Structure 1
Amino acid sequence: MALRILDDCINCDMCEPECPNGAIALGEAIYEIDSAKCTECVGHYDKPQCVRACPIACIAPDPERVEDDAGLLAKYLSLYPQ
């Protein structure tokens, strides 16, 4: 499933540069993840880099955007056609 940034985000700027898909951007109050671009780093890394970089662990799976590994890989392939 795509990830989301929770309301306790402190806008530390650690996650945004780590996203290989450019899915993270500063929203009106906190950073936000564009679910259309979030592949949980499938195709790039073994684990989501934003989760690894977040110092307060405020990035979690988005229950409204359930996707399996095959769906995440398909999204990656649509973002980076070969």
Structure 2
Amino acid sequence: MAIMITDECINCGACEPECPNTAIYEGGREWNWAGGTKLETVELEDGTAIDAKTAQAPVSDEFYYIVSGKCTECSGFHEEPQCAAVCPVDCCVPDPDMVEAKEELLAKKAWLHQEVEQE
């Protein structure tokens, strides 16, 4: 499951540099799929392909936020989500709307970083 930031966030920014996928952004800031990844194009749910550098609307205008499509809970990088480990107010919590198995998180990491299995 992806991590989310609750409205208890104090906007300290401690979480942002800890994310290996660059999935955390300051409130009000646009994001894109390319940041912190090797993605060049992304196919959206409606089948439309976009340039991964295309700016996307902020998820929150008030607080730091996590783009769930880029969050892997640090799977493949660390034993636990680093945003939650450094958050001084414990507002980085599992997102009940984005439940994913460990295998799904690792597959998402491989997709984000365009990791190809060696044969």
Q: What TM-score does the superposition give when structure 1 sets the normalisation length?
A: 0.97
Mind listing any 5+ residue stretches in structure 1 that lack a counterpart? none
Using the TM superposition, give the Cα deviation of residue 46 of structure 1 relative to its aligned residue in structure 2, in angstroms.
Answer: 0.7
Q: Once superposed, what is the RMSD of the aligned Cα atoms?
A: 0.6
The separation in 2 between residues aligned to 1:60 and 1:35, in whole angstroms, is 12
> 2:107 maps to what in 1?
74
1:2-81 mapped onto 2 (5 Å cutoff): 2-27=2-27, 28-81=61-114
The count of aligned residue pairs is 82
- Give runs of ≥4 in structure 1 deviating > 3 Å: none
TM-superposed deviation, 1:20: 0.7
What is the identity, as a one-letter code, of the residue corresponding to 1:23? A
Which structure 2 segments of 5+ residues have no match? 28-60
Which AA in structure 2 matches 1:51?
Answer: A
Displacement of 1:80 in angstroms is 1.3
Deviation, structure 1 residue 81: 1.8
- Please tell me whether Structure 1 or Structure 2 has the larger radius of gyration of its CA atoms: 2
**Aligned-pair distance for 1:75?**
0.2
